[in-house]
Amino acid sequence: MRIASNSIALFTLATLLGLAGCVAEEDLTVQKKAENIVQIQEYLAANGLTAKDTLGLSFALTKPNPGGLPVKADDSVTVHHVTYTLDGRKIDSTSTLNNRPFVFWLNGREARVLPGFFAAVSLMREGEKATVLVPSDLAFKSYSDPRYFPAYAPLRFDLELIKIENEDRKIDRYLAASGLTGFETTASGLRFKRTQARPDSALAEVGKTASVRYTGRLLNGTQFDSNLTGTLFEVTIGSNSAQRPVRGFEEGLALMRKGEKATLVFSSSLGYGTQGRSPTILPYSPLVFDVEITDVK
């Protein structure tokens, strides 16, 4: 029995929980959580499961992979799951037969509407399987669906973390596929390669204004900005002005001197982050810039 043919329905349903709330309901939620914890402990004992209590849930690793890549907050993850109530009713599942897993950003909007699911995934490594029991305050809270589950129902998630995709991996593949070598990586994760050096010229240090020519691209080659034939971009290094560029761009400039050229590659944490920049730069997009500093004042 399933609510829908894919996991989107499960998380769409959960968004209904944010539409209303009151103090009385919060008190009842606390009471029901205590009851859920007792239910979960009884379920574990009855089913011979040993689980670790962490992040407000009971977590049992059923297939460890200690060498697997751990999950980070800004990763995209691919997961197969089956979701049950504790009396065995299946609420939702992905399709392993048709190879249709659930793919999502760990800190995306879905994480706010069913927090127990995402907290559980955050504890896993690539290639691992786990069984997780969550109280109702980390699931559907007071929401109910008479076809599938009552209000304040604790849930069981059987999870398989198939793949983790992060921006560092994407950047590594981009550099390899493009035959780009010789990059240094700064403490922030910026990949920097000087392509034209002027070691005796003025450094674009904090407080200095650099005149810049640049072209910005996505990893797929899509150009989203350039001023090669337009007005120079004036950047005062370390300034808090409204014209201040994204962090990775400015950090790269601060490593350069007048007359130098460089290629900068950096993750969205140094760029446009979780919001992106409409319409071309999607959330979590690594960026590539070819830059030239024509003057430093």
Rounded distance between C-alpha atoms, residue 264 and residue 198, angstroms: 17
C-alpha distances (whole Å) from 157 to each of 30, 166, 224, 232 are: 22, 24, 41, 55
Rounded distance between C-alpha atoms, residue 293 and residue 232, angstroms: 10
pLDDT tens per residue across span 99-112: 889 988 887 766 66
Rounded distance between C-alpha atoms, residue 140 and residue 82, angstroms: 16
CATH architecture classification, 168-296: Roll (3.10)
Q: How far is CA 107 from the centre of its chain?
A: 5
State which fold the 8-164 domain adopts. Chitinase A; domain 3 (3.10.50)
pLDDT tens per residue across span 190-247: 999 999 999 999 999 999 999 999 999 999 999 999 999 989 999 999 998 878 899 9
pTM of the model: 0.69
For the chain, the domains span 8-164, 168-296
Mean pLDDT by 10 residues, the chain (297 residues): 47 53 69 95 95 95 96 89 96 86 81 86 97 96 91 96 92 96 97 98 97 98 95 94 91 98 97 90 94 98
Q: Do domains 8-164 and 168-296 have the same CATH topology?
A: yes
Do residues 132 and 139 lie in contact, with contact meaning Cβ atoms separated by under 8 Å?
no
Do residues 268 and 167 lie in contact, with contact meaning Cβ atoms separated by under 8 Å?
yes
Range list of H helices, 88-223: 115-122, 167-177
